Amino acid sequence: RDEFAKYLADYPHPPEHHQKHMLINPVIEVDGDQAEGDSGWLFLTSDAGGLRPRLAAFGRYRDRFLRQDGIWRIAGRVCETEAMDIG
């Protein structure tokens, strides 16, 4: 959690271009206070003029969740980037 908080604090605000991070087709299997999830993700941005959308990257998340004191939290995440446009 500390690493994620640092990442957010260090992220440039506001972004140079409009950006969207989308989670798609999540499948979550719950077993008591634990769960495993598999989902796709897309990272969309815009061109320099801000008028044209651009798919910057996509991939999959493999997640582990734990419920502690009634609150679900991500206990682990593997991010598999399948493709990225760095241009």
pLDDT tens-digit series, residues 3-46? 888 887 887 666 666 788 999 999 999 999 999 999 999 999 88
pLDDT of the residue at 10 = 84
Gap between the Cα atoms of 3 and 74, Å rounded: 13
CA-to-CA separations, 29 to 1, 37, 55, 74, 77, in angstroms, rounded: 23, 6, 29, 14, 15
- 72, with CB counted inside 10 A (0-12, 13-18, 19+), is middle
Summarize the confidence of residues 51-55 as an average pLDDT.
Answer: 86
pLDDT of the residue at 51 = 80
Q: Are 61 and 41 in contact (CB under 8 A)?
A: yes
Gap between the Cα atoms of 30 and 41, Å rounded: 21
pLDDT of the residue at 47 = 77
Gap between the Cα atoms of 22 and 11, Å rounded: 18
Question: Which residue from 17, 4, 13 is spatially nearest to 46, judged by alpha carbons?
Answer: 17
pLDDT of the residue at 32 = 98
Q: Is the pLDDT of residue 70 over 70?
A: yes
Summarize the confidence of residues 51-64 as an average pLDDT.
Answer: 93
pLDDT of the residue at 63 = 97
